[in-house]
Amino acid sequence: MNTDFKTIDDYIKLQSEKNVLILEKIRQLIRTIAPNAEEKISYGIPTFKLHGNLVHFAAYKNHIGFYPGASGVEHFKSELSKYNTSKGTIQFQLDEEIPYDLIKKITEFRIKENIEKSNNKKK
């Protein structure tokens, strides 16, 4: 897969029609709850930064990868039990409904976590 994307728009426009809709919905969800987060491409995938990495997401043949870091996965592990997860990764299968409410909750958790870390560094 090409990883020379300059913007999230560049990344999304090269995806399948179904994935474009899902990725745009995830992007808009994150923009709504983290309007001050910076959009960028990091590790070749869409990334939001707010006082450091907030979340990443990406499209694959059979799933959407969502990357809230290890703390995001650990904090929601009971709610994530039906999904494939690893240390900072969640896979949402494309043949199942994407849990946008859960993505929102995890992102809100990460926002709070990053703000707290940033405030503690300032003290």
Query: pLDDT tens across 46-103, in order?
Result: 999 999 999 999 999 999 999 999 999 999 999 999 999 999 999 999 999 999 999 9
Helix (H) or strand (E) holding 11: helix 8-13
Within-domain flag for 77: yes
Q: 3-state class of 22 per DSSP? A: helix
Within-domain flag for 2: no
Structural domain boundaries enclosing 93: 8-122
CATH of the domain at 44: 3.90.1150.200
Within-domain flag for 108: yes
Question: Is the pLDDT score of 7 beyond 80?
Answer: yes
Within-domain flag for 39: yes
Give the burial class of 29: count Cβ atoms within 10 A of its Cβ; 0-12 exposed, 13-18 middle, 19 or more buried.
Answer: middle
Q: Count of CB atoms within 10 A of residue 120's CB?
A: 8
User: What is the count of structural domains for the chain?
Assistant: 1
Within-domain flag for 1: no
